Structures are given as structure tokens and as C-alpha cells.
Amino acid sequence: MSNIIKYRVHEVGKDFERTSKEIIETIAPYYPGNKNHMTSLEDAELDIVFEKFTQDNAVESFEKYFADTEKPPEEKKPAPAAQAAPQAPAAAQPQTQAAPQAPASPQAQAVPQAPAAPRPQAGPQRPPMQGAPRPAQQGQGRPMQQGQRPGGPRPGQQGQRPGQPMQGQNRPPMRPGQAPAQGQRPMGGQPPRPAQPQRPQQPRVQTRREGSQIVDTRGSNVDLSRYDERIDALVPDRVKNVGPGKQKFKKNNNRRPAGVRPKVETEAEKLKRLELEKARKATLKITIPDEIVVSELATRLKKTNADVVKKLMLLGVMANANQVVDFDTAALVCEEFKVKYEREIVVTIEERLIDDSDDADENLEPRSPVVVVMGHVDHGKTSLLDAIRDAHVTATEAGGITQHIGAYKVNKNGRDITFLDTPGHAAFTAMRARGANITDIAILVVAADDGIMPQTVEAINHAKAAGVSIIVAINKMDKPEANPERVKQALTEHGLVPEEWGGDVICVPVSALKHEGIEELLEMVLLTADMLDLKANPNRAAKGTVVEAKLDKGRGPVATLLVQNGTLHAGDVIIAGTVVGRVRAMTDDKGRKITDAPPSTPVEIIGLSDVPAAGDIFHAVADEKMARELAEQRRQEEKEKQFKSTQKVSLDDLFSQIQQGEIKDLNIIVKADVQGSVEAVKTSLERLSNDEVRVRVIHGGVGAITDSDLMLANASNAIIVGFNVRPDAQTRENAHAQNVDIRTYRVIYECIEEIETAMKGMLAPKYRENVLGHAEVRQTFKVSGIGTIAGCYVTDGKIVRNAKVRVLRDSVVIAETELDSLKRFKDDAKEVAQGYECGMGLVRYNDIKEGDVIEAYVMEEYRE
Ligand SMILES: Nc1nc2c(ncn2[C@@H]2O[C@H](COP(=O)(O)OP(=O)(O)OP(=O)(O)O)[C@@H](O)[C@H]2O)c(=O)[nH]1
């Protein structure tokens, strides 16, 4: 650097108001050699000059100096100027450090090497600098040191030379001509910064060590970064390499730029910022969903997990960061933190796509009733449906060809009635299990010659569970042995009291075979419909249920839909369960093409992408793309559902389900060997109802537990209780697959007790029976002295020697005991597997008959 910028002896002399000779003499003792006024001076030589003249300007007494500085500048102005005048402009630095290494120290950079002003080339060319000579000083031939302190030079204050940048500005001392050439310093154009100079200067007691130079950085407005550049420029390489390494001011570079803001202000600013932050937090508003993980809540509250967990603890909720809390708890935490909150409303695709809002009364119009026919096998359901259709479809609709699409409409007295063509409660309940409640009225067909049969009872209970109105059609009235009174009598036993006996159940005697009583029956259906006041809004997007669906070879997926609300139009986009499609063609039950299907209309449509399931609910939607998205989402949900075992009510977790509010009604199906037991259990169980749970026996019947019971239990989320009756192997397997809880008992009070304790959450069964297998008694042998030996064939599972057994006759338990002996031919056997024959003797039981079933089981410890 010094090679580039020449600073000649005469220039230095001029700057310091010394002769060239004096300068040369100053340097000579340190750097001997021939020099003249044109000799360029090296950095080290310059440093010596600066040191020399700086020291020459040292004040004699600090006391005097400090005393001077405390006086108002105005008073002192003329005097110090005069005093300082004869002196060299150097600051009073009693430093003896004149070594060439001096500039290497950071302090040395602050040494006023700036004899710029007097220099002819530098002075005039410079734009006014902060330290520009004031008129008074100019009059004295040199500018005052930094102008702001008329008290004269003081220790540590450099730059007393004319034209030198003011220290207050923290300009690094500069040699004339150097900075502009290097472009290291934004000299010109930098406006004077008066803040520092005008600050009342307190006497600064500075402990200065002999031989060191100190940069006064206490003003907090020293731009130290500038010194780094100067260091690089000024420090000779050999000096740089000495010591523990370069010690740049950069370490302190985090200081604010000179003159921008003093340290006190920074603190104030920080406080202000903190306050602002606090204020911002105070007005924080967050949204909380119905359930939120604690860590997520903490994030939203801008708190740590620990803070939130602590607050929860104080609120009496023990939850860790990964646990979920409900909205109310989260809201309490928000209140504790004084954070505003509101409930997060999650709009699902379903909500956006499907408008499930209720209709306003003024938009509702009467709709025709939807009727299902149920009853015991062979009581004439199909015959009745055919009779109704024959009388009202083929006869009245000229040219109409009856289509079996799963539902049809008949017209009576100018009003329509829709019949579901699938008789029996199986289809009805299967549909209900899928969430579809499509029927308004159930016609219960009871053969007058047969009376109430098991499936009649089931049908009654299925209809009751679905909450539909029942009309009894007493069929086969043409038969001579028909006894409608007996039927009515039996009906009362099942809670259906005929009208003529003071009840509200309409009973119509009919003959499906002879087409008698059909008109009366239909009239009664209309009457019941009037009572139900069935209404729908035809002026909205259609909603309904898939009644039937199949894959047609030529037409692709074909589905029968029953429109329940709104009107379905040809061309509509519909979503049914996980299937999406556009209604390409629509035909009614008479095979006619139609374009609009108002409420209670069954239609057959084509155009779906896949075959939906019967019972699926369909919606006509506006956005096909979104519908596909929803279908995909539903498929995903279905998969997840399959993964998780279906949550069905069971006695084991009854209490937890009650506590979680999942159960309000405990539905029970009671099956027993005799009607008396059914009634007894029913009354006893229903008495168990308490404030939280209502125990409802939705079906009670005599006989084995069958698939039909399972179906009802499945649809109504019920548990099955059996007394002295048991499910057969297939039913048990199905129950297991469908997660239906079947409990079997021998004594009523055991059942009552178990359900009661389960409701109280005290049910802790330690043992549970595990059925090992069944064997059918094929032959019996009487052995004197031993008793009866049963020759059996193991039908499923295995029979184990130590197992307990029960004897079943027509699925009714007739004995419970243990195995006395188990033999394969003449040998004792430990166990006999399925498909083998064996001989069995039972402990204290000899009344075994051919056809009996022996069930072997063991009691196993049960762990939840
Ligand atoms: N005498 C007489 N026989 C009838 C009447 N209704 C039906 N039947 C007869 O009863 C038998 C059973 O009739 P279905 O209509 O098949 O009875 P279902 O209830 O539909 O029977 P499933 O479909 O097996 O459940 C048939 O042989 C019919 O002919 C009737 O009103 N009078």
C-alpha cells in the first residue's frame, strides 16, 4: 500500500506545520539514510512522525484538562484554541511508543495520522467533513481537534490535526490521498453527525498504560469494522505474523455502526421489542379443533410443551405432549394463557359436496309411502306382493311390462304406494345395518292358519327396532282352518294390540291367493301414511338408497335406486357409497324411460362406474371431480375400518363405552329355551336401566341363537343373551367374524348380575370358556355298572379327555357335566379330533340319546 501511495516528507511537514528538515530529523534516529523533502515516507517512518508530534502535544496535567472540560464550551472556546495553537495538533498522548510496530495495534489506528486538512491536494478537494475546520479554528491556522471539545486535546482523543476526520465520527485516521485512492472510506458526501460532538462529555478517567495506544470506544459509536481494513493496510506483514494471530476488531463487529444508536438506546429498543412481543402474544387468537394433540396446542399457543402440560396438570388433566385433549380442555388452557380461541370448523369434502341440510317446511310436499312386506316363511309374502302388483300394475297400467327391479309402485285412489320387492326381514335388516332407513310401513304377513311363528316375532322386533309402522295382513283367510282371532291374540303377546281390541295395530284379513282384502290393505296403508304425514322436497338434489345393484353383461353396472328426497334427473352425477357415475339412462318399474324421478320413486339406472352395495346411500352432486375424491376417501376409510376391528358393544368394555358416551341404549336380544324365561329375563334386564343407560330387550325368542339374531344384533348394536340355548358352530363363527357378543347362561340371576356389574364397570371375568369341539351321538350303549356310553362322531374341533361337556338336544342345553371316559375303540384316548369316532361316558349323566350333541369346552383364564 505504501508502495502505491506516496507521502512525501514535505507534505508531512506541511501537514504538521513543520519543516521538511524537522521531519527528516525525527525519522533519522530510527531509519537512517539520505532523505530529502521529496523522499516518500514508509508507513513505519510516518508512524514515528505521528508518534513524535502526538507526544509533543501531550497535556501537562490531567486535572487541569478535566477541569477545563467541565466548563461550558462557549466560555472555554477562545482560550483552549489559543493555548493549543502553538502546540502541535497532536493529541496529548504521553506515549513513548514510537516503534514502527505501533500502528499494528488497533489503538494505533486511531492515532491521528490525519494531517489531511493542510495538505494542499487533500484539503481543498475534500468535501466538507465532520471535522471540517470551523471559522474560529481556521483563523488560527489549524482546525480544532474535532471541534466539539473546545477544552483542548485530551488523552485518548486524537485527530487534533486540521482536516482530520472527527473522532466522534469514528473515521479511521487517514493519510491524505490514501483513502480516496483505495476507496476504503466514504469520505465525501457523508454528512456531519452532530450527535456525538454535542454530547456533554464527562471526564473520562482513562487508565493508560505506558507504551500503549488506546482507541476510545466508550462512546459506543466507534465503527470498529473500519479499523479492520486499516489494519490490513497499515500493519506490516511481519507484525501481523507475530503473536497469537491477527486480532481484528471484527470480533467486536456486532457493535452497532458508529453514531447509529448508543448502547442505552439499544437496551431501550430491546425492551420495546419485548413489550411489543408481549403485546402481540396477549392478543394471540388461535383455533382449536374438536380434539387436539397437546404438542400441537403448545405450538399454536407459542408455548413450550412443558408449559402446556403444566397448565393441564393444574387443571387436573394428566396428559403428556403426545396425548389428545378435547376442545373444552384446550379452551381452558387458552384461558389460562389469556389467549383468545375459537372452534376450528373443519369442512370436509363431504360437507362441501353434499347438502344435507333440513328442508324448510314450506318446501316440503307430500310423498308416497314406502312399504316392505315381512313375515314367517311360507306365510304368503311373495304371493301378497304379486297379488298387489297384479291387481294394480298389469291391470291398470295398460301396456306396462312389469320389471322386477327390486321395488315397484302401485296406484290406489290416485295415490302412489311404493313396495320394496324383496320380502323378508333379512334384506330389510341388512339394509338397515348399512344405515339405510328407507321404509315407512311394514306389512306383517301372518298366515291365519299358522299364527305367530318365530320369524314373525323376529320380523316384529326388526320392524320395531327400525321404528316403522306395522300393519298386519292376516293371510290365507280363504283356508277353512283360518283363525284370525288366534292370530290377534298371539299378536298382543308381542306388544301388537289390534285396533278392534283397543290398540293401534291395523289388522287386515286377506287372501293373497284369491286376491281378497288387497284393496282394504292398500287403503289401510294410505291411512297409515296419512298419519305419518310423509313429506319430501322434490326441488333439490336427489338423495336416496340403493335397493339393488348388479353387473349386467351388456349394460354394465345396473342399480335400482329409491329416491327419498329431491328429484333425480337423467344426466345427474351421483355418488353411491364408493361408486361415482352419471345417470346415463333411467327407467321406472314399468320399464319406461324417464328423465325425472321425484321422491319415493324407484328407478333403475345405468352409468355407474362400479356396482354399489344394496343399502348404500346415494347423492346427486354438482361436482364430479370432487365426488371422485370423496369416493376415494371413503374407500380409504373403509380399508382403515377393516383394519380396526369393528367397535361393537360387548359386556367386557361396556362400562368404558358408557363412560365415553358411546352407549345410551344397551340393546339386548334374549333367546331362551322356553317363553317363560324370555319374559323373565326381559323384565329383569329392563329394570337395570339407570340414568346413563337404558337397557332395551329388542328381541326375545324361543329357540337356538341363529344368524337372524346375529343380523339384528349387528344392525342394532346389540348383545345376545342365551338361556339354555346355544348358537350352532356356524353362527358362533359368524358372531366372531361380526364381533357380536353372545353370552350364554344357565341361570337368570347370573345373567342379571353379570350385566349389572358390567354396567357398573366392575365386570372382571377371570375365566372364559373356550369351546373345543362338538361330537354327535350316533349310538348309545348301556354298560352295566358304568352307565350309558355314547358312540360319537366328532363333527368339529376336538374332544379332550379333561374337558367339560354339555349335552345339547335341538340346540338346548340339557346337561352340563364332565367327561368320565374317552375311548377310541377299546383304548383310552387323550383327545379325539374332528372326523373320528369315539366313545364317551359322562359323569353322573346317562340320559344320552341318539342325535344329541356333546359340546366339549375348557375354562380359560381371560385377559383383557
Ligand atoms: N290358501 C292360500 N294359500 C296361500 C295364500 N297366500 C300364499 N299361499 C300359499 O302359501 C305358499 C307360500 O307362499 P309364498 O308367497 O311363497 O310365501 P312366502 O312367505 O313368500 O314364502 P318364502 O318366500 O319361502 O318366505 C304358496 O304355496 C302359496 O300358494 C293364500 O292367501 N291362501
- Per-residue pLDDT, 191: 44
- Per-residue pLDDT, 115: 41
- Per-residue pLDDT, 69: 56
CA distance 97 to 78: 32
- Per-residue pLDDT, 104: 40
C-alpha separations of 522 from 268, 375, 508 in Å? 90, 17, 10
Q: How many CB atoms lie within 10 A of CB 72?
A: 10
Residue 207 has pLDDT above 60, yes or no: no
| 523 alpha carbon, distance to own chain's centre | 54
- Per-residue pLDDT, 418: 92
The model carries a pTM of 0.47
Checking phi first, is residue 177 left (phi over 0); if not, alpha (psi -120 to 50) or beta? Answer: left
Residue 183 has pLDDT above 70, yes or no: no
| 205 alpha carbon, distance to own chain's centre | 65
User: What is the best residue among 372, 373, 383 to mutate for testing ligand 1's pocket, by most ligand atoms within 8 Å of CB?
Assistant: 383
**Residue 859's beta-bridge partner residues?**
769
**Pocket of ligand 1 contains residue 515 by CB under 6 Å:** no
For cell 326441488, the residue is: 539
Mean pLDDT over each residue of the chain, to the nearest integer:
75
Split at pLDDT 50, 70, 90, the class of 791 is: very high
Lowest-pLDDT range of 40-44, 262-266, 514-518, 783-787:
262-266
Residue from 554, 587, 557 nearest 570 by CA: 587
C-alpha separations of 7 from 20, 37, 667, 689, 860 in Å? 12, 10, 107, 109, 107
**Pocket of ligand 1 contains residue 100 by CB under 6 Å:** no
Between 70 and 554, residue with greater pLDDT: 554
Question: Which ranges of 644-688 would DSSP assign to H, the alpha helix?
Answer: 654-659, 675-686
- Per-residue pLDDT, 561: 92
Residue from 93, 22, 14, 24 nearest 57 by CA: 93
- Average pLDDT score over residue span 55-60: 70
Label residue 581 exposed, middle or buried (CB < 10 Å: 0-12, 13-18, 19+). buried
**Pocket of ligand 1 contains residue 756 by CB under 6 Å:** no
**Pocket of ligand 1 contains residue 476 by CB under 6 Å:** yes
- Polymer length of the chain: 864
Q: Among the ranges 218-222, 268-272, 520-524, which has the highest mean pLDDT value?
A: 520-524
Residue 218 has pLDDT above 60, yes or no: no
Residue 539 C-alpha cell reads as: 326441488
**Pocket of ligand 1 contains residue 459 by CB under 6 Å:** no
DSSP 361: G
- Per-residue pLDDT, 256: 52
Split at pLDDT 50, 70, 90, the class of 700 is: confident
Compute, in angstroms, the gap from residue 505 CA to the centroid of ligand 1: 23
- Per-residue pLDDT, 164: 43
Beta-carbon contacts of 238 under 8 Å, excluding residues fewer than 6 positions away, are none
- Per-residue pLDDT, 565: 92
Residue 376 assigned ligand-binding role = yes
Split at pLDDT 50, 70, 90, the class of 599 is: very high
Query: Considering only CA atoms, which residue is closest to atom 9 of ligand 1?
Result: 380
**Pocket of ligand 1 contains residue 383 by CB under 6 Å:** yes
The residue type found at 158 is Q
Compute, in angstroms, the gap from residue 476 CA to the centroid of ligand 1: 8
- Per-residue pLDDT, 757: 80
Q: Among the ranges 131-145, 387-401, 844-858, which has the highest mean pLDDT value?
A: 844-858
C-alpha separations of 633 from 350, 539, 576, 644 in Å? 10, 29, 13, 17
- The values of phi and psi at residue 650, to 5°, are -145, 155
Lowest-pLDDT range of 262-276, 398-412, 609-623, 735-749:
398-412
Compute, in angstroms, the gap from residue 260 CA to the centroid of ligand 1: 103
- The values of phi and psi at residue 373, to 5°, are -110, 125
**Pocket of ligand 1 contains residue 381 by CB under 6 Å:** yes
Split at pLDDT 50, 70, 90, the class of 850 is: very high
Computed from CA positions of residues 266, 268, 272, 277, in that sequence, does the dihedral angle turn out positive or negative? Answer: positive
Between 264 and 666, residue with greater pLDDT: 666
Residue 378 assigned ligand-binding role = yes
Do 105 and 65 meet the contact criterion of CB atoms below 8 Å apart?
no
3-state secondary structure of 580: strand
* % of the chain beyond a pLDDT of 70: 69
DSSP-assigned letters across all residues of 219-286:
TS---THHHHHHHHHHS-HHHHTSTTS---GGGGTTSPPTTT--HHHHHHHHHHHHHHHHHHHHT-EE
Query: Considering only CA atoms, which residue is closest to atom 12 of ligand 1?
Result: 378
Compute, in angstroms, the gap from residue 298 CA to the centroid of ligand 1: 69
Ligand 1 atom with the smallest distance to the CA of 385 is 15
Residue 825 has pLDDT above 70, yes or no: yes
Residue 144 has pLDDT above 50, yes or no: no
Ligand 1 atom with the smallest distance to the CA of 383 is 15
- Average pLDDT score over residue span 382-401: 68
Lowest-pLDDT range of 195-209, 235-249, 399-413, 492-506:
195-209
Residue 384 C-alpha cell reads as: 301378497
**Pocket of ligand 1 contains residue 153 by CB under 6 Å:** no
Do 649 and 717 meet the contact criterion of CB atoms below 8 Å apart?
yes
- Per-residue pLDDT, 71: 52
Compute, in angstroms, the gap from residue 378 CA to the centroid of ligand 1: 5
Lowest-pLDDT range of 230-244, 532-546, 610-624:
230-244
CA distance 169 to 171: 5
Label residue 627 exposed, middle or buried (CB < 10 Å: 0-12, 13-18, 19+). buried
Residue 476 assigned ligand-binding role = yes
Residue 515 assigned ligand-binding role = no
Query: Considering only CA atoms, which residue is closest to atom 8 of ligand 1?
Result: 380
Ligand 1 atom with the smallest distance to the CA of 516 is 31
CA distance 564 to 537: 9
Task: Report the C-alpha dihedral over residues 729, 731, 736, 742, rounded to 10 degrees.
Answer: -100
Query: Considering only CA atoms, which residue is closest to atom 1 of ligand 1?
Result: 476
Residue 477 C-alpha cell reads as: 283367510
- Per-residue pLDDT, 125: 43
Split at pLDDT 50, 70, 90, the class of 642 is: low
Ligand 1 atom with the smallest distance to the CA of 514 is 31
Residue 327 has pLDDT above 50, yes or no: yes
Instruction: Provide the pairing of β-strand 568-569 with 596-597.
Output: antiparallel
Residue 184 C-alpha cell reads as: 476504503
Q: How many CB atoms lie within 10 A of CB 228?
A: 19
Residue 779 C-alpha cell reads as: 349310538
Between 709 and 239, residue with greater pLDDT: 709
Compute, in angstroms, the gap from residue 449 CA to the centroid of ligand 1: 12
> pLDDT tens-digit profile of 564-582?
999 999 999 999 988 999 9
CA distance 2 to 174: 13
Ligand 1 atom with the smallest distance to the CA of 475 is 31
Lowest-pLDDT range of 118-132, 330-344, 609-623:
118-132
CA distance 408 to 645: 38
Do 538 and 398 meet the contact criterion of CB atoms below 8 Å apart?
no
Lowest-pLDDT range of 5-9, 311-315, 357-361, 504-508:
5-9
**Pocket of ligand 1 contains residue 374 by CB under 6 Å:** no
**Pocket of ligand 1 contains residue 349 by CB under 6 Å:** no
Compute, in angstroms, the gap from residue 384 CA to the centroid of ligand 1: 8
> pLDDT tens-digit profile of 59-114?
666 666 666 655 554 444 444 444 444 444 444 444 444 444 444 444 434 444 44
- Half-sphere exposure for 126 (CA within 13 Å, toward CB): 32
Rg, C-alpha atoms of the chain? 52
Residue 508 assigned ligand-binding role = no
Beta-carbon contacts of 801 under 8 Å, excluding residues fewer than 6 positions away, are 819, 822, 828, 829, 830, 831
3-state secondary structure of 447: strand
Compute, in angstroms, the gap from residue 376 CA to the centroid of ligand 1: 10
User: What is the best residue among 374, 376, 378, 478 to mutate for testing ligand 1's pocket, by most ligand atoms within 8 Å of CB?
Assistant: 378
**Residue 807's beta-bridge partner residues?**
815, 854
CA distance 460 to 472: 10
Lowest-pLDDT range of 25-29, 385-389, 757-761:
757-761
Residue 160 has pLDDT above 60, yes or no: no
**Pocket of ligand 1 contains residue 456 by CB under 6 Å:** no
Compute, in angstroms, the gap from residue 511 CA to the centroid of ligand 1: 10
- For 525-544, what is the HEC assignment? HHHHHHHHCCEECCCCECEE
Do 373 and 389 meet the contact criterion of CB atoms below 8 Å apart?
no
**Pocket of ligand 1 contains residue 475 by CB under 6 Å:** yes
**Residue 596's beta-bridge partner residues?**
569
* % of the chain beyond a pLDDT of 90: 21
C-alpha separations of 106 from 55, 226, 234, 499 in Å? 18, 11, 10, 113
The residue type found at 435 is G
Ligand 1 atom with the smallest distance to the CA of 512 is 31
Compute, in angstroms, the gap from residue 46 CA to the centroid of ligand 1: 129
Query: Considering only CA atoms, which residue is closest to atom 7 of ligand 1?
Result: 380
**Pocket of ligand 1 contains residue 509 by CB under 6 Å:** no
**Pocket of ligand 1 contains residue 379 by CB under 6 Å:** yes
CA distance 828 to 272: 95
Between 294 and 356, residue with greater pLDDT: 294
- Per-residue pLDDT, 505: 92
**Pocket of ligand 1 contains residue 376 by CB under 6 Å:** no
Beta-carbon contacts of 568 under 8 Å, excluding residues fewer than 6 positions away, are 542, 544, 561, 574, 583, 586, 596, 597, 601, 603, 605, 620
**Pocket of ligand 1 contains residue 423 by CB under 6 Å:** yes
Residue 593 has pLDDT above 70, yes or no: yes
Compute, in angstroms, the gap from residue 382 CA to the centroid of ligand 1: 7
- For 118-185, what is the HEC assignment? CCCCCCCCCCCCCCCCCHHHHHCCCCCCCCCCCCCCCCCCCCCCCCCCCHHHCCCCCCCCHHHHHCCC
Compute, in angstroms, the gap from residue 380 CA to the centroid of ligand 1: 3
